[in-house]
Structure 1
Amino acid sequence: MSLVDVNLPPPSAMRGGWAALAAVLSARGWGKNVYAEPDQWLYHDGGGNWASLRFVERDKILLVGNDHEYSETYFREAAEYFQEEETDLLKGAPDWWGSKLDPSPFGEWIGFVYGWDGCKWQRAKYDAEDGFKSVGLLESCSLTDLEHLKGYAADAPGLEGIPPSDEALRALVSADAQITPEMLQRVIPGWDVEAGVAAARKFLEMPV
């Protein structure tokens, strides 16, 4: 197999921040952008760019997505539609990578497909920019800093123009989806805390 190792955190490291973002957005009434289903976690930046972590089997997980501006890979139908040379995102990959590749509910095309085998992330070998970095998933999952999460929470009516503290935000991420109403209340007072807690807890349905 001719695959390339990808330096990304394991799915377990993504869960806390992904769930925290889902909690804040759901409490705000924007729960359709970031949420968990029984077999996948979904992220949409509100501008047409998206990523999804999809569970195939134990220790067989896909990370797929697309940036509509910066994904320069043209996979399957996208190659024909844009009249570009196809990038085979499955070249050299095990068969299970070919499952769960429907780009819905957020997009028409897939710009990247990464596979997690329980030890490492890998992708097919290609030179084109696939759009993963510009999608901003790592920033959104608070793996680089807390600014993305803070930006969404800063408009909460109970904050009186003062953004939530980094301490409160870190506690939300560190809870690893086991967010309590008290934790969330300290971050987004005035919004629907119960909806936010429920959204976060859904990230516990699949083991990582």
Structure 2
Amino acid sequence: MTLVQLDLPDPMAMRGRWAALAAVRAAAGRGEQCRALGALWHYDDGHGSWAELHHLGEGRAVLLGQDRNESQTFYAEASDFFEEPETDLLAGAPGWWEPPVRRAREEQLFLGFVYGYDGSVWKRAVYESEDGFKAFRLPALSSEWTREAVVATARHSRMPEPSQESVDALIAADAALDTAAVSAVVPGGWDAEAGAVAGRLFLAG
């Protein structure tokens, strides 16, 4: 069965952005929302929508998750729970897509999208329903979205917003972060060292 090719950045192009946001969230004491766990990169919005990128070796990766409000693709258990027709998110997919999906199901997470990267292009199964990925706006897809997420995190401190230059430098470090780079972005009193450590964990991916 034919798969649909997607126009998304490759995983390594996302790394610096994902790590920058993870560093700021960790410095703020909210590291559980954005972090690297070995070969798994996690992000959630704190309101039930989430995405994870699994590095599978040989340049392959699987990006999966759900937007709790906009995903209209009901896969496996979600089809039964919501009493909606099932969308087979693995239709026509190679077998290496399946382990991250199995892990999510074992954790009782509903899935709205599953995308596979074969080392050169991203693809998904064929379906017409809205899977929620566009609405989710994963920050790591663009530097602009990452900046917005970083500034939104810092804004909770009621301190002046970090400069665009300091945020861009954090992203450009491509996860090779030090305490000074994080300190230039986060308010005083936040744990910049913890942020740098959290950012560097993305180098293992």
- The alignment's TM-score, normalised by the length of structure 1, stands at 0.91
Change (3 A) 1:181 1:15: same
Match of 1:109 in 2: 110
Match of 2:154 in 1: 153
Looking at structure 1, the residues matched to 159 and 150 of structure 2 have their Cα atoms a distance apart, in angstroms, of 16
Match of 1:94 in 2: 94
For the 8 Å contact 1:153–1:164, the answer to whether it is kept is yes
User: Secondary structure of the equivalent of 1:115?
Assistant: strand
Identity of aligned residues (%): 43
> For structure 1, which segment, 95-104 or 170-179, has the greater mean C-alpha deviation from structure 2 after superposition?
95-104
For the 8 Å contact 2:178–2:193, the answer to whether it is kept is no
Match of 1:182 in 2: 180
Match of 2:121 in 1: 120
Structure 1 position 107, deviation (Å): 6.2
Looking at structure 2, the residues matched to 106 and 30 of structure 1 have their Cα atoms a distance apart, in angstroms, of 21
Moved over 6 A (4+): 104-107
CA-based RMSD: 1.7
Q: Tell me which amino acid in the other structure corresponds to 2:110.
A: W
Match of 1:13 in 2: 13
Looking at structure 2, the residues matched to 40 and 20 of structure 1 have their Cα atoms a distance apart, in angstroms, of 16
Can you give the 5+ residue segments of structure 1 that lack an aligned partner in the other structure?
none
Q: Tell me which amino acid in the other structure corresponds to 2:125.
A: A
Q: Tell me which amino acid in the other structure corresponds to 1:32.
A: E
User: Secondary structure of the equivalent of 2:152?
Assistant: helix
Structure 1 position 57, deviation (Å): 2.2
Looking at structure 2, the residues matched to 84 and 99 of structure 1 have their Cα atoms a distance apart, in angstroms, of 24
Counting only pairs closer than 5 Å after superposition, residues 1-208 of structure 1 correspond to structure 2 as 1-101=1-101, 102-103=103-104, 108-137=109-138, 139=139, 142-145=142-145, 146-156=147-157, 161-188=159-186, 189-206=188-205
Looking at structure 1, the residues matched to 185 and 120 of structure 2 have their Cα atoms a distance apart, in angstroms, of 34
> For structure 1, which segment, 105-114 or 45-54, has the greater mean C-alpha deviation from structure 2 after superposition?
105-114
For the 8 Å contact 2:35–2:198, the answer to whether it is kept is yes
For the 8 Å contact 1:50–1:106, the answer to whether it is kept is no
User: Secondary structure of the equivalent of 2:143?
Assistant: coil
Change (3 A) 1:173 1:141: farther
Change (3 A) 1:205 1:104: farther
If each structure's helix is expressed as a fraction of its own residues, which one has the higher value?
2
Can you give the 5+ residue segments of structure 2 that lack an aligned partner in the other structure?
none
Change (3 A) 1:155 1:141: farther
Change (3 A) 1:172 1:104: farther
Looking at structure 2, the residues matched to 177 and 105 of structure 1 have their Cα atoms a distance apart, in angstroms, of 30
Q: Tell me which amino acid in the other structure corresponds to 2:2.
A: S
Looking at structure 1, the residues matched to 200 and 106 of structure 2 have their Cα atoms a distance apart, in angstroms, of 21
Which string of whole-angstrom CA distances, capped at 9 and with x for unpartnered residues, describes residues 7-65 of structure 1?
11110111111101100010110011110011200001011000000122221200000
Looking at structure 1, the residues matched to 160 and 125 of structure 2 have their Cα atoms a distance apart, in angstroms, of 45
Looking at structure 2, the residues matched to 13 and 5 of structure 1 have their Cα atoms a distance apart, in angstroms, of 18
Aligned length: 202
